[in-house]
Structure 1
Amino acid sequence: MPFLTLRDYCRALGVPIVVGAAIGSCCHVSTVHATEGGGSNYPVGVNTLLSGIQPAPGSHIYIYLQAYEATTFEGNNGNPSSSVANFSLHAQAAAFRLSHVWRDVTFLGATLESRTNIPFVNLDLHFDAHTPKGTVYKSGRATGLSDLTIGPLFLGWHLGNLHQVLGLEFFVPSGGYDPNKVANPGRNYYSMQPNYAVTWLPTPRVEFSARALYSVNSVNHATDYHSGNEFIVDYNAGFRFTPMWQIGVSGYFYKQITDDTQHGQVVNGNGNRGQAVAVGPSIAYGSRRFSVALKYQREMLVRNRPEGNRFWLQMYMPFQ
C-alpha cells in the first residue's frame, strides 16, 4: 500500500493540534505560587504533532480531552514544598478549537488562519497548608467554562519539507473566579502569547516538530498578584510506520522568565519562578476525514509547580 502524500498526511493527522484549555493545574491556591496557583493559561504539551503545518483552506474543528493528576507540589529546590503536605490535584478538561484558513488570501507568501478555543474544566484539589498558626486543611472543587483563547491571525509557510506557523493568541478571563476559593475554572487575568511553530519532515516517515511561545501576563486585580512571564516549548519526534499510523515521543519545556510579584513586592523573596520538563510516548492515527492521537507526558525537573502526569486524547475533523 503506498504512503499518503505529505498533504494528505498532514490533513489526516489534523494539524496543527492546539487548544486553549486552561488546565495544567488551572487553579488558584493562596498558599503556593509559581505563577499564581502554580498554573498557566497555556495548556503545556498540547502543540506537539505536526505543529508547524497549517491545515488546508476551509473550516476545521479540533476536540481535546485531557486528564492531569499530581500528588506533589515542588518547591524552589526541586523537592516537595515544605509549606504544603498531602497535596492532591486531579483535573480534567474538554476543549474545542474552531479554525478557519482563508481561501485565496495570502500575506508575505503565507496562508492566513483564524482560531478560537473554548475550554471546560473540572478540578479537584486538596492539601495541608503549614502556617505559623499550625496546619490548615484546604480543599476545593470547580467545574465550568475556563478562559477563552482568541487567535485572530496565524501565518503559515510551506517550503518543501519545512513548514512554519507564526501567530499571536490572547487568553481572555472568561472563566469563573472567586479569590476566596481554592480552585477556580478561570485565572482572572489576560495573557498575550506570540508563538512560532516549525515542522521538518526529512523523509516521508519521519517528523520533527516544535512550538515555542512567550506568555506575557497581566495583573490579577482581585488579588493584586502579577504572575511572571513564561517561555514554553512543546515538541514531538515521530515515525510513521504505516500510511496512517505514527508513533513518537512528545513533551514540553516550561520556564518562568520573570518574578511573581504581589502588591509590588517579589513573592517569597525569589520570585517563585516555575520550571518543568515533560516527556512521554504518543501514537496517532489519521485518515483524510478524521484523525485521533493519544499522548502521555510525565513531568520532571519541576520547580515551584505541581509535578504529575498528563494524558491527552485529541481528535480532528474538517468541515470541507
Structure 2
Amino acid sequence: MASATLASSWTTTTHATEGGGSNYPVGVNTLLSGVQPPPGSHIYVYLQAYEATTLEGNNGSPTASVSEFSLHAQAAAFRLSHVWRDVTFLGATLESRTNIPFVNLDLHFDAHTPKGTVYKSGTATGLSDLTVGPLFLGWHLGNLHQILGLEFFLPTGSYDTSRLVNPGRHYYSMQPNYAVTWMPVPNVEFSARALYSINSVNHATDYHSGNEFIVDYNAGFRFTPMWQIGVSGYFYRQVTDDTQHGQSVNGNGNRGEVLAVGPSIAYGTRKFSVALKYQREMMARNRPEGNRIWLQMYMPFQ
C-alpha cells in the first residue's frame, strides 16, 4: 500500500520530531506490501481516522507539561501507480508512484507553563505533502515477492508558524524502503515493509526532525479465495535526535517510539479489493498514543 501524509504540528517541545508527527503514515503498507501490481495503471484510495487522548513523554508516561490532550485527524489519499510494460532491470519489473493526500486536523490541550495553565487549540484542513516515487523494482519468485524503492516527500502542504496545526510539515524527506511478502501456502500471507526516513531542516523554525525507522507488518489467513482476516500494525522508532539551532531538543533529542497492532479484514479480486484495519498504539514515547482506523481500496484503470 502507498503512503499518505498525515501531519500535525504544535508549538511545544515535549514530543518526537517537530510536532510529534511524521511524513510517513505509519500502518498503511501492511497487506501484500511486497506484491507489485501487474503492468498497467492502478489507483489506490486510503481513508484514515486517528484519535489520541494522551501525549507520552520520554519515560513512556503521560507528559506532565500537557493535560486534557485531544488529537483527532482524518486523512484521504490517492495513490496513482504505473507498472511499465516490457521493461525490466536486474530481473525486476519497474513501477512509478505518486501520492496525493488531504488532511483534517483538530488538536486541543492544556499547556502547563511557569505562568500557569494555557489552553491551546487549532484546526486545519487541506492538501498535505505530496509523495513522489520515481522508481520501484519488483521481484516475483514463486511464493516470495519483493519491492525495493525510493520515495520523496515534498513540502506542498500549507504551513504557518503561527498556527497550532498545519496540513504540511514544511520540510523534505527521502525514504528508501524495502517490502516483502511471503506465502508459504496459498492461503497464508506474511508481509512487512521497512523504511528509513531522512528528514531535512524546517527553515521556518530551524528545527531538524530526527531520522526515523518504520516497519509496517501483516499476518493474514485467507479463509475463502476472496476473503482474508489477519493482524497488522507498525513499529516506529526515531533513531537520531531532534535539533533546533544546532542543539539537541529537550535534553534527550525527543526520540519517539511506538508499537501498534490490531485486526484486519480484506476482500479482493483481480479488479477490486478493499481492506478495513484497526491499529491500537502502545509503548509510546515522546509522541501521542491512540487508535488508528484504515479503509483502503484498490482498482486497476488501464
TM-score tier (shorter): over 0.9
The match for 2:216 is 234
CA displacement at 1:289 relative to structure 2: 1.2
Counterpart of 1:172 (choices 154, 162, 181) is: 154
Matches within 5 A, 1:177-216: 177-216=159-198
Asked if 1:27 corresponds to 2:8, the answer is: yes
What are structure 2's unaligned runs of at least 5 residues? none
Whichever residue aligns with residue 108 of structure 2, its letter is H
Q: Which of the residues 50, 55, 66 maps onto 2:48?
A: 66
Question: 1:96 aligned to 2:62?
Answer: no
Look up the SS of the partner of 1:203 in the other structure.
Answer: coil
* One-letter amino acid of the structure 2 residue matched with residue 53 of structure 1: V
> RMSD of the alignment, in Å?
0.6
Matched, 1:162 2:180: no
Kindly provide the CA deviation profile for residues 28-59 of structure 1, in whole angstroms up to 9, marking residues without a partner as x: 11113310000000000000000001000000
2:116 to 134, 140, 158: 134
Cα separation, 2, equivalents of 1:240 and 1:28: 40
| Aligned match of 1:18 | 2
Q: Does 1:112 align with 2:83?
A: no
Identify the residue that residue 5 of structure 1 maps to in structure 2.
none
Aligned partner of 1:294 in structure 2 is 276
Alignment partner, residue 11 of structure 1 = none
1:220 aligns with 2:202: yes
Structure 1, 209-218 or 27-36: larger mean CA deviation: 27-36
Taking the aligned partners of 1:160 and 1:22, their CA distance within structure 2 comes to 33
Runs of 4+ in structure 1 over 3 Å off: none
Please identify, of 224-233 and 285-294, the stretch whose mean Cα deviation from structure 2 is larger.
Answer: 285-294
Corresponding position: 1:255 with 2:237 = yes
Matched residue SS, 1:76: coil
Q: Tell me, what secondary structure is at the counterpart of 2:184?
A: strand
| Residue 151 of structure 1: aligned partner | 133
| Contact 2:105–2:123 (Cα < 8 Å) also in 1 | yes
**Following the alignment from structure 2 to structure 1, what is the Cα–Cα distance between the partners of residues 15 and 166?**
14
Please state whether the residue corresponding to 1:268 is helix, strand or coil.
Answer: helix
1:312 Cα deviation (Å)?
A: 0.2
Alignment partner, residue 291 of structure 2? 309
3-state SS of 2:19 partner: helix
Native 8 Å contact 2:15 2:57 kept in 1: no
TM-score by length of 2: 0.99
Distance between the aligned counterparts of 1:135 and 1:203, measured in 2? 58
Unpaired runs of 5+ in structure 1? 1-16
Paired residues in the alignment total 301
Q: Secondary structure at the match of 1:182?
A: coil
Deviation at 1:73, TM superposition (A): 0.3
CA displacement at 1:288 relative to structure 2: 2.0
1:50 to 10, 32, 45: 32
Deviation at 1:98, TM superposition (A): 0.1
Q: Distance in 1 between matches of 2:9 and 2:163?
A: 8
The aligned counterpart of 1:123 is 105
CA distances 1:49-70 after superposition (whole Å, capped 9, x unpaired): 0000100000000000000000
Q: Does 1:278 align with 2:260?
A: yes
Q: Which amino acid aligns with 1:181?
A: R
Which deviations, in whole Å up to 9, do the C-alpha atoms of 1:161-191 show, x marking residues without a partner?
1110000000000000001110100000000
Query: CA offsets per residue over residues 106-155 of structure 1, 9 Å max, x none?
Result: 00000000000000000000001111111111100000000000000000
